Structure 1
Amino acid sequence: MSTLFDLSFFVTVPFWALMILAPTWRWTRTIIGSPWITLVPLVIWAIVAVPVLGAMWSLVTSPSLPAITEAVADPAVLTALWAQIIAWDLFLGRWIYLDSRDRGIHPLLMAPLLVGTILLSPIAFPIYLIVREVAGRVPARGSSAPQEASIPA
């Protein structure tokens, strides 16, 4: 179980490395543009979660702190939970990366925010939302002027 626990993070490292270390490389956007990158840790989640699905189902349908505390003592449940967190962080980091590239936010500002998303996404995500607001509206492609929000008629 320890191997799958570790693997659930390590399979995401290449995607994080692309977003942080090679954000402007043309293949980075192509690779990160696919939501399928989150499938890798979710496969690990499925491998670990299927055998304990009954226990996990009762946790999500009738959650309580004592029940969750007891459940995470099971390495399989904890590993499944970890893989789910890792997949979610990657999905969130992917959105932050793509949004920041569309908005032209400098990669040197984004690198620490993406590292923060790996480590503590509940803190990094609101910080990114503030950066996003400060950065302003998305410029139109091929233009340096802010793009006006369009309201459908």
Structure 2
Amino acid sequence: MSTLFDLSFFVTVPFWALMIFAPTWRLTRAIISSPWIVLVPLVVWAIVAVPVLGALWSLVTSPSLAAITDAVADPAVLTALWAQIIAWDLFLGRWIYLDSRERNVHPLLMGPLLVGTILLSPIAFPIYLLVREVTQRGTSPVPQTSSVSA
């Protein structure tokens, strides 16, 4: 189970590396534009989750802190939850990368933000939204007033 736990992250490393270290390379955008990249860690999730689907189903249909605490004592359940988190982080990082490229946010700013998304996406995502707002304000055209001559 430990190998699958590790694998759920390591299968995403090439995608993160492209977004962080080669953000302007045309193949990076082509690869990251595909939503299918998120399926890679979800394959690991499926391998682990199918045997414990009953336990996972109970967690999502009747969630409680006690039930989740008990369930994560099972390495298979914990690995499935980890793979799901990794897939979500990649999905969010993919969106952030694509949005930042569209808005021409400088890659030197985006690299640390994408690393932050890998590590703590609930902190990095709102920071990116602030960066997005600031850069959007800085590039929005200034409305021109028209003067009518008599």
Q: Secondary structure at the match of 1:85?
A: helix
- The aligned counterpart of 1:107 is 107
Q: Secondary structure at the match of 1:136?
A: helix
Cα separation, 2, equivalents of 1:37 and 1:131: 25
Matched AA of 1:65: L
- TM-score, structure 1 normalization: 0.90
Cα separation, 2, equivalents of 1:88 and 1:112: 18
Aligned residues of 1:89 and 1:121 also touching (Cα < 8 A) = yes
- The aligned counterpart of 1:6 is 6
Cα separation, 2, equivalents of 1:136 and 1:71: 44
- The aligned counterpart of 1:89 is 89
Residue deviations 1:76-132, cap 9 Å, x none?
000000000000000000000000000000000000000000000000000000000
Aligned residues of 1:11 and 1:40 also touching (Cα < 8 A) = yes
In the TM superposition, residue 67 of structure 1 has moved relative to its aligned partner by 0.4
Aligned residues of 1:102 and 1:138 also touching (Cα < 8 A) = no
Cα separation, 2, equivalents of 1:4 and 1:113: 27
Aligned residues of 1:41 and 1:86 also touching (Cα < 8 A) = yes
- TM-score, structure 2 normalization: 0.92
In the TM superposition, residue 70 of structure 1 has moved relative to its aligned partner by 0.3
The two structures, once aligned, show a CA RMSD in angstroms of 1.7
In the TM superposition, residue 137 of structure 1 has moved relative to its aligned partner by 6.1
Cα separation, 2, equivalents of 1:89 and 1:55: 23
- The aligned counterpart of 1:22 is 22
- The aligned counterpart of 1:64 is 64
Q: Secondary structure at the match of 2:117?
A: helix
Identity, in percent, stands at 86
Runs of 4+ in structure 1 deviating by more than 2 angstroms, as ranges, are none
Residue deviations 1:43-74, cap 9 Å, x none?
00000000000011000000000000000000
Structure 1: runs of 5 or more not aligned: 140-144, 149-153
Matched AA of 1:133: E
- The aligned counterpart of 1:151 is none
Cα separation, 1, equivalents of 2:108 and 2:34: 23
- The aligned counterpart of 1:136 is 136
Matched AA of 1:99: D
In the TM superposition, residue 138 of structure 1 has moved relative to its aligned partner by 10
Q: Per the alignment, do residues 24 and 38 of structure 1 end up closer, same or farther by CA in structure 2, a change over 3 Å counting?
A: same
Which structure has the larger Rg? 2
